[in-house]
A = this chain, B = another copy of it.
Amino acid sequence: MTATPQTSPVPARPGRPRSARADKAILEATLDLLAEEAGVAGVSMEAVAARAGVGKTTVYRRWPNKERLIVDALAALKHPLPELAGRSVREDLLTLARSIGADHTDRRSRCVWNVLGGFDRHPELLARYRQEVIEPRREVVRGVLRRGVATGELRPDLDIEVAVTMLVGAMTLQGRVPAPPPADPAGAAERLAEGVVDALLRGIAA
């Protein structure tokens, strides 16, 4: 999901590594600008180029407009989709819960909220963010749930979309209105992931 191209191992293309470094600097500059007060409004191709220390044409060579650039920068914030062991639904949901939680507790990832506030004014940005960042992740969760129905681990009448929304909603809520950090953040994150997955699987009714 990261937007940075692979550095080519072929020595015949000496321009590649420099280009990868420029891409990384451009994505970082975009995230820095997004994290500032003005959010999407503070991002322009000019401001990104200046902050990344590259020429404007270098930015335009890779990204035709700021909406594409912002979506790639937000995608680069996410951890790569985790490998799933495929042994049990509980284990795979726990892996996903940890990964989603980690994407949202990182202080830097809070610049995402600045973008969400601007979605009404930027429908193309919203559509691309859904399609390129949100949907691929939801689809991985759906896959685990569908497999669970097929193996009989999950209810045959499971509403997959509701279950996805519960897992993702619970694991993203914590980052939204951050509480004072707990004494043991890693332990707290793990307890939340396990608590959410087990409550989702077993239910809370007696």
**Could you tell me which A residues sit within 8 Å of B by CB distance?**
35, 37-41, 107, 110-121, 126, 129-130, 134, 145, 148, 152-156, 158-159, 161-163, 165-166, 168-174, 176-179, 192, 195-196, 199-206
Contacts and interface: CB of A to CB of B under 8 A. Distances in A.
Contacts of A119: 110, 113, 177-178
A173 B170 CA distance: 9
25 contacts: A37-B40, A110-B116, A114-B114, A114-B117, A115-B117, A116-B176, A119-B177, A126-B177, A130-B177, A134-B177, A152-B206, A153-B205, A153-B206, A156-B206, A159-B199, A161-B195, A162-B192, A165-B170, A165-B173, A165-B174, A166-B166, A166-B200, A168-B173, A201-B204, A202-B205
Contact of A173 (B113, B120, B156, B172): B172
B129 A199 contact: no
B206 A154 contact: yes
Contacts of A171: 169
Q: What are the 9 closest A-B residue pairs judged by CB atoms, nearest first?
A: A203-B203, A169-B169, A114-B117, A162-B195, A169-B173, A113-B117, A37-B41, A169-B170, A113-B116
A169 to B, nearest CB: 3
At the interface, is chain A mostly helix, strand, loop or mixed? helix
Contacts of A176: 116, 172
Given A37-B40, A153-B206, A201-B204, A196 B165 contact: yes
A138 B106 CA distance: 23
Contacts of A206: 152-156
B111 A117 contact: yes
Given A38-B38, A201-B203, 6 more contacts: A130-B179, A153-B205, A165-B192, A168-B169, A169-B173, A199-B200
Given A159-B199, A166-B170, A110 B114 contact: no
A62 to B, nearest CB: 25
Contacts of A173: 165, 168-169, 172
